[in-house]
Amino acid sequence: MQITFKNSFVEICVELEPFFRIDSFTDLKTGKNMLSTGTPKFVADREVLADYKLIGTNQTPQGWNFSWKNGPVTLTRHCFFWQNAPALRWYDTFETETDLAAVCYSTLVNAQFHTDAHDAEVINFYSCSDQSNHRMIKGPAKPGKNSGAYFTGNGMFLYKEGPMPDSQPIPCEYDFLYNPEANTAEMLGLGFDNLRKGEPRRANGVVLGLTRDFGLQRYWLERYPDYPESTAAEVLANSWPDLTFGVTEEAITKELHGAAKAGVNVVFIDDGWFSAFMGEIDETKFPNKFTKLAEIARGYNIEIGLWCNPLCMDYKDPRVVQWDGAECHDTMLEPNPWNWLARDKDYQPVEQYVGDGRGYYSADLMNPGYFEHIKNKLVALNREYGIRHFKFDMYHLFYYNTLLGDAQMHYEAYRAFMDAIKKEIPGLVVSMDVTRRGRPNFDFGLDYGRLFLENRGRNIPDHRYYHPYMALGNLWYTLKFAPASHCEIEMMPQAMDYPLEYILGTTIFASPLYWGVIDNTPADRQAEMKAFYAMIAPYRRKFQKYLTISEGEMPMKGTWSAIVSVAPDYSEGFIAVYRNGAENAEYEFDLPFGQSVRKIFGGGSAVVEGSKLKAVLPEEYSCALYQF
């Protein structure tokens, strides 16, 4: 049985028997067949299961689901294909009739390229932006083993969707096997420690697509169609650097007044708002809970956002205390009704912290009682106070090999939790704190909101230290392989040693996050900031639906950088150019099209010569936005 996926970019012919095999992936612009694939190897209980039988096909709004029986295992491939993207995506789910162990589904896809792949590269992410402002580890694909999330070459990209390699629940030594002589690349997944009856499993996803004509960026636009349009022109603020745990009703009231003067429309209340860790609102700090703050916010047309850690509770809470009556039982002989604490195989908390006058234990999302508890808590905050913006600190899921399930099952439990609150909270946007390793990262975060990236320098005496080009550098790297509309970029307009227009200009393609107490910025700067974001809002709404890439040099002190955003039909485009303390006042950037430019804001001048934009910025730290 064959099926064909076709749009104006590609035609993909797939054979479904005995198992899913791409016979051709044709670039309709060039007529070239770019690649084909073979049948993967599936091992369980030390035996190769190769007796695939197609048992079902089902068309969905975004593609197809195909199911095969392979011994006791039912494998369903969920395929996604869009009319406006040159890409095919899928992920596999597994169920079994009998318990299996040593399940190795090692080949996610084995690609045979049909044109030269001499330019092959592997791109990995460094997830811990607490420790580095450099997001990517990029280099030529080596013969043999390669670690990374993306394999690019031959005009194609192969994306291993799931936790980033340095944050996987089951650590992987490598992700791609590359054979340049045979012109093949195999994407690998470790499989599962076990596959039990009644425990469905999900493998890493796979995305194959063309790189030409903004192919990856077109895929992103189609991949996240339900991202709230209201987010496009938001300006966020978080007072954590100055207030830390000292958030109070009085302090946040001042923040809301400051936000109205500065053009901020989402004010976050960070850690410290509860009486016990992830408990109820602390009525000593917030005597009116969030009722009065919500009223003030509505009056200014501002929203409140809230910090949470959905995986932890106060260590004194009886629902997660370590000794909850277990000592009264012979655990081997008597079933013990364990509480919500996430316990390792030795019955100890998988994660715990005591300090700063408080302590918490990890709670187990695989416990139905806790799952409902934390879901209902967040839904209630939305219904009572209109809160739909959350910032989640996402803790180390590879710790969560508990009595109730292994790390991969907890990863899927977290996904189920996110799906549940997304269904209940209209317009949900979660700022996923992905500043540490071991957290569900990047594409997981993109499914539910924005990537919160720490954008500050290293080897400094104060964590609030800030350079605009460092923040821009983090974004510049990230948006090469993640959509700019789903990224947050920190800014500190209170940093008086940089021009305000330069600071604000670094933020226009992502979601600006004011970092600190708003009134630490002088009143005249607040007014300028409000006027700037009012002016740039119509363009930011366009950028959310446009194809955005980074150009020029990696933003560091002494460089020139750019971000380009173009309409999918190439009817117009924009380029922001940044002089980051460079000695030269002139620089050339490539333009994808256009013969002239119109300045939107900024200093200096620019002209188009051939396919180049020649930009001049007289000020050492400055920027300008042009339409072409």
CA distance linking residue 396 with residue 352, whole number of Å: 11
What are the distances in angstroms from CA 83 to CA 15, 57, 214, 247, 543?
21, 20, 15, 48, 20
Peptide bond into 18 cis (omega under 30): yes
**Closest among 554, 582, 599 to 562, alpha carbons compared:** 554
For the segment 295-300, the average pLDDT, to the nearest whole number, is 98
Q: Kindly tell me if the per-residue pLDDT of 299 is higher than 60.
A: yes
Q: In the numeric block, which tokens belong to residue 569?
A: 């039909």
**Closest among 191, 169, 190, 173 to 409, alpha carbons compared:** 169
For the segment 230-249, the average pLDDT, to the nearest whole number, is 95
Q: Kindly tell me if the per-residue pLDDT of 42 is higher than 90.
A: no
Neighbours of 107 (CB within 10 A): 18
CA distance linking residue 168 with residue 170, whole number of Å: 5
**Which residues in 605-621 are b (16+ Cβ under 10 Å) and which e?**
ebebeeeebebbbeeeb
- Mean pLDDT check: name the lowest of 182-191, 377-386, 535-544: 182-191
CA distance linking residue 213 with residue 218, whole number of Å: 9
Confidence of residue 297 (pLDDT cuts 50, 70, 90): very high
Contacts of 580 (CB under 8 A, 6+ apart): 468, 469, 472, 555, 556, 557, 558, 559, 560, 561, 621
Q: Is 312 exposed, middle or buried (0-12, 13-18, 19+ CB in 10 A)?
A: buried
Question: Alpha carbon 469 to chain centroid distance?
Answer: 22
pLDDT digit string, tens, across residues 89-111: 999 999 999 999 988 767 899 99
Q: Kindly tell me if the per-residue pLDDT of 127 is higher than 90.
A: no
Q: Kindly tell me if the per-residue pLDDT of 473 is higher than 50.
A: yes
CA distance linking residue 442 with residue 220, whole number of Å: 13
Confidence of residue 340 (pLDDT cuts 50, 70, 90): very high
Contacts of 225 (CB under 8 A, 6+ apart): none
The per-residue pLDDT for 394 is 63
The per-residue pLDDT for 463 is 46
SS3 content of the chain, % helix, strand, coil (to 5): 20, 35, 45
Counting DSSP H helices and E strands in the chain, the numbers are: 10, 42
The amino acid present at 10, given as its one-letter code, is V
Dihedral (CA of 110, 113, 116, 117) sign:
negative
pLDDT digit string, tens, across residues 48-93: 888 999 999 999 999 999 999 999 999 999 999 999 999 999 999 9
The per-residue pLDDT for 165 is 66
- Region of 423 please: left (phi>0), alpha (psi -120 to 50) or beta: alpha
The residue with greater pLDDT, 575 or 190, is 575
pTM: 0.94
CA distance linking residue 271 with residue 307, whole number of Å: 6
What are the distances in angstroms from CA 317 to CA 204, 286, 324, 358?
36, 21, 10, 12
Strand duo 429-433 + 449-452: pairing: parallel
**Closest among 238, 253, 256, 313 to 288, alpha carbons compared:** 253
What are the distances in angstroms from CA 261 to CA 230, 291, 601?
20, 22, 21
Beta strands in 235-375 (DSSP E): 236-238, 266-269, 303-308, 312-314, 352-355, 358-362
The per-residue pLDDT for 442 is 73
Percentage of the chain lying above the pLDDT 90 cut: 75
Residue 22 half-sphere exposure toward CB, CA atoms < 13 A = 27
pLDDT digit string, tens, across residues 443-470: 778 888 898 877 665 555 554 578 999 8
The per-residue pLDDT for 9 is 98
